[in-house]
Amino acid sequence: MRPILAAAALATAILPNQALATTGPGCLAVVNVAADDALNMRAAPSASARIVDALVPGRHGIIHLDGTCVPYSLPWGSRWCPVTHYNGDTTTHGWVKARYVHDSECP
């Protein structure tokens, strides 16, 4: 029994973090953005922050919610959500407006 546990522990330790972070709940899909437009992902929770990525509806890879959308004092659609975008071999961390994303099951 111990060799099986050791093998399981080793397999878990060497799996990429991306795979662990992108299974089950916690992902988002882009909504309320025209098909020929893109949602700008920002470096900080501000419309004036640098754009770090552009998320095209339906063609954006995996968007993972990294924490709570803030600030609580604003209505939901006005809050900023911390996210990680996994797209092929590229991983980008940033912020998106809550009104432009919706909960989605991670693949």
Contacts of residue 98, Cβ cutoff 8 Å, sequence gap at least 6:
69, 76, 77, 78, 79, 80, 81
What pLDDT does residue 9 have? Answer: 42
pLDDT in tens, 16-53: 444 444 555 689 999 999 999 999 999 999 999 999 99
What pLDDT does residue 11 have? Answer: 40
Under the banding of pLDDT at 50, 70 and 90, the label for residue 101 is: very high
Percent of the chain with pLDDT over 70: 77
23 vs 83, higher pLDDT: 83
What pLDDT does residue 26 have? Answer: 85
Q: Which CATH architecture has domain 17-106?
A: Roll (2.30)
The domain limits of the chain are 17-106
Closest CA to 17 of 81, 91, 95, 82: 91
Q: Residue 72: pLDDT above 80?
A: yes
